[in-house]
Amino acid sequence: MMAILASASAPIPLAQARTVAGKQGFCRTADPLPRLGAEVEQNRQQTGYGVGGKHREKVAMTSPPPPPAPPPPPPPSAYIDSASPVVSESRASASADEASSAEPAPVAGSSGDYRTSPPIVPPRPWPRPQPQPQAGILTAGEHDDLLNPELYAAYVNRSDLGQDIRALPRVDTMRVVTVKVNDRNGQPVPFADVVVTCSDGNSITMATQADGSAVFFPGLDRLSERISVSAKKAGRAIADARPVLVANAPGGQSVGLTTNQMATKATKLDLMLVIDTTGSMGDEISFLQAELRSIIGAITAKHRDLDIRIGFVFYRDIGDEYVTRSFAFDRDIGKAQGMLARQSANGGGDYPEAMDQALIRAVGQEWRPDAVKSLLLVADAPPHNDKFGQTWAAAEAARAKRIHITPVAASGVADEAEYAMRAMAAATQSRYLFLTDDSGVGNPHAPPAIDCYLVTRLDALVRRVVDSQISGRRIEPEDQEVIRSVGNYDAGKCVLPADFKWQS
């Protein structure tokens, strides 16, 4: 079924879905998480690639011992460097003003030709002078494919990746069934189990996020034409079953369930960071470490009422010093920040990496059922072609556990990685984040196949995304935080022209 979903060039009609479901049953549930052996580290001289990129000449190297944790970074406002265009809010505003006066120009990788604000290319050649690694320097944009289903459908339809790599998923955001569970005061009920029962008696259970919603995809989940939707918590029914006719047409459906149980706020957060530490990440890894340490500190400082645990999975590739290096969830934030600071970029070789094993390790950790679950995937390369199936199986297992997968795409990300990352983000009700060239740090970043977004500082962006996952409401940046804008952006949505067509 996965191959059928991936290879289609347009959303699967409901009639076709019925034919497939007639053989396999409706209401498809995720397969069990693939199993891996114990983690092993190689204490030997290894052959790796330099930090400048994955395709440099091989050199023999011995991995040095991890460096000691650096001191906490100074506040971003203390940093001034003429080599970086992002140094303060006032200069960021100036950059935004310059961007608004730029002439329109087509952008490589664009999924449409109506954008009016192209990415700004700094005048200095690469490589540019690098500032000292600290928080508040890296810049990034974000995109929510669930809020922009027409654009995502157009992106998937014009891509041939589904034919090249059969295990790549097809997440049809044009046809979704969003179930929202509220109490009688209209407040969202988080972590309620939504049960969708199909016409053949099979059922899918998906827990609501902090905003009280659970999203189902008729094609991916193989929903029957008629379903019933109910909700329960702790095994007890909290909302009566409601019949729903799944629409056989593009467009989202919303199903509301009301419960007598009063809504409560989230009190726990499990944050897992999954980070590619191969050599090609060397141009940005020290900056990312500073940014992520700052993000962890800021989240814990802002949400002192939350019980927060942090975990890590660092990964490289087969034949490296290690394939995965996992650290279980821990409440000791200082220990977590020190653990992150001691990592270094090394190894790799070919372009793909062991993302499949990293996600399997991360999803298989002991996540708390009553916590907001957030997984940040920081990477610049896809899994190997024959491992896309395992990677997607891990993503579906994450979705079944109600884990948000939030990718952070670094320099070097190309078509396969962007496609896989965006599919994982959409399936788990999350967003796709990507670094931009505005900071001047690292190798050039390929323009994403995205039509509109705002560029802000990475640390502020990640904090907003995690805060949104905790609060259940989308949080937009303040005007002074925006460095520049691309396309016609409106609170996470791209405003489309009247003649826009998502399918040719």
The predicted pLDDT at position 440 comes to: 85
**280/55 Cα distance (integer angstroms):** 9
**167/54 Cα distance (integer angstroms):** 24
Q: Which among 206, 205, 177, 209 has a CA at the least distance from the CA of 191?
A: 209
**74/91 Cα distance (integer angstroms):** 18
Q: How far apart are the first and last CA of the chain?
A: 25
pLDDT in tens, the chain (504 residues): 333 333 333 333 333 333 444 457 999 999 999 999 999 987 644 433 333 334 333 333 333 444 444 444 444 333 333 333 333 333 343 344 444 443 333 333 333 443 333 444 443 444 555 556 677 889 999 999 999 999 998 888 877 665 567 777 788 999 999 999 999 999 999 999 999 999 999 999 999 999 999 999 999 999 999 999 999 999 999 999 999 999 988 889 999 999 988 999 999 999 999 999 998 888 788 888 888 888 999 999 989 899 999 999 999 999 999 999 999 999 999 999 899 989 988 887 778 999 999 999 999 999 999 999 999 999 999 999 899 999 999 999 999 999 999 999 988 788 889 999 999 999 999 999 999 999 888 777 878 889 899 999 999 999 999 999 999 999 999 999 999 999 999 999 999 988 888 875
Exposed/middle/buried for residue 205 (C-beta within 10 Å: 0-12, 13-18, 19+): middle
**Token output for 176:** 């979704």
Exposed/middle/buried for residue 148 (C-beta within 10 Å: 0-12, 13-18, 19+): buried
* Structural domains of the chain, with CATH: 139-171+265-494 (3.40.50.410), 175-258 (2.60.40.1120)
| Residue 242, CB-side half-sphere exposure with 13 Å CA sphere | 18
Q: Which among 400, 426, 420 has a CA at the least distance from the CA of 33?
A: 400
| C-alpha torsion angle, residues 326, 331, 333, 338 (rounded to 10) | -30
Pairing of strands 484-486, 453-457: antiparallel
Dihedral sign from CA coordinates of 9, 10, 11, 15: negative
The DSSP bridge partners found for residue 216 are 177
Q: For residue 142, is it left (φ>0), alpha (ψ between -120 and 50) or beta?
A: beta
Element (H, E) at 468: helix 458-471
The DSSP bridge partners found for residue 314 are 275, 325
Say if residues 248 and 177 touch (Cβ distance below 8 Å): no
The predicted pLDDT at position 282 comes to: 81
The predicted pLDDT at position 49 comes to: 36
Exposed/middle/buried for residue 61 (C-beta within 10 Å: 0-12, 13-18, 19+): middle
Burial 12-47 (b: 16+ CB within 10 A, else e): bebeebeebbeeeebbbebeebbeeeeeeeeeeebe
